[in-house]
Amino acid sequence: DGGITQSPKYLFRKEGQNVTLSCEQNLNHDAMYWYRQDPGQGLRLIYYSQIVNDFQKGDIAEGYSVSREKKESFPLTVTSAQKNPTAFYLCASGTGNYNEQFFGPGTRLTVL
Amino acid sequence: KNEVEQSPQNLTAQEGEFITINCSYSVGISALHWLQQHPGGGIVSLFMLSSGKKKHGRLIATINIQEKHSSLHITASHPRDSAVYICAVEVNDMRFGAGTRLTVKP
């Protein structure tokens, strides 16, 4: 089945540790996106990539890093520099230019 | 002030009621999206609109570009419609509303 997957669904980490969230898609989409969702707020863009080996910062990139070595994969690393990492993280993919995006199931990260 | 405002923030309805969720935005857009987020967190795209009206089953979405306003209607609501509904607009990137949490009681 075609789709976009994120793993794990729930993730717990100690403060000060880096953690990497996985996002994989088999939709042959060029563009991939990472969003953060906090209670009572709209989704905010962390990073996006329009093509392999290229990515751009979104509105809240500080404390995060990404890579796009393969078209199918766009992992997000939450570093210890991110001051409030506890959130729900959503990955999306699309054909580009912010047309219809397909969202993964999300990863809920809790930093203890 | 957010660029995308949704109302109401929370909505509780009885099964069968007609539901309206509103979205207002303050910027010029190329398209508007309505998304549905289920309790597990996954998001699905319901509609993409640039003008007029679209219908899919019991869901209807309308947009008025001049007034910078869109509405999502649910007819004959059902408990399985309970979810967070998110309005998003395409500008140079995607801007999201905070969502409307809908609970439909049997």
The 10s digit of each residue's pLDDT in B72-87 is: 999 999 999 999 999 9
What pLDDT, in 10s, does the model give residues A44-95? Answer: 999 999 999 999 999 999 999 999 999 999 999 999 889 899 999 999 999 8
Nearest CA in chain B to A104: B42
Q: How many CB pairs under 8 A join A and B?
A: 54
With CB atoms and an 8 Å threshold, state whether B41 touches A100.
Answer: no
- Which pLDDT does position B39 carry in this prediction? 82
pLDDT of residue B81: 96
pLDDT tens per residue across all 106 residues of chain B: 679 999 999 999 999 999 999 999 998 998 999 999 988 778 888 999 999 999 999 999 999 999 999 999 999 999 999 999 999 998 877 889 999 999 999 9
Closest to B42 (Cβ–Cβ): which among A58, A101, A105? A105
A27 touches chain B (CB under 8 A): no
Question: Cβ B96–A103 below 8 Å, yes or no?
Answer: no
Q: Does B2 touch chain A (CB under 8 A)?
A: yes
From CA A37, how far away is CA A35, in angstroms rounded?
A: 7
* Whole-number Å distance between alpha carbons of B58 and A21: 36
Q: Which residues of B19-32 are buried (b: 16+ CB within 10 A; e: fewer)?
A: bebebbbeeebebb
Q: Does A108 touch chain B (CB under 8 A)?
A: yes
Question: B45–A44: do the CB atoms touch at under 8 Å?
Answer: no
Identify which of A79, A104, A43, A75 has the alpha carbon closest to the alpha carbon of residue B43.
A104
Confidence of residue A18 (pLDDT cuts 50, 70, 90): very high
Q: Is A41 an 8 Å CB contact of chain B?
A: yes
Strands in chain A per DSSP E: 4-7, 10-13, 19-25, 31-37, 44-51, 54-57, 64-66, 76-78, 87-94, 101-103, 107-111
Q: Are A78 and A23 in contact (CB under 8 A)?
A: no
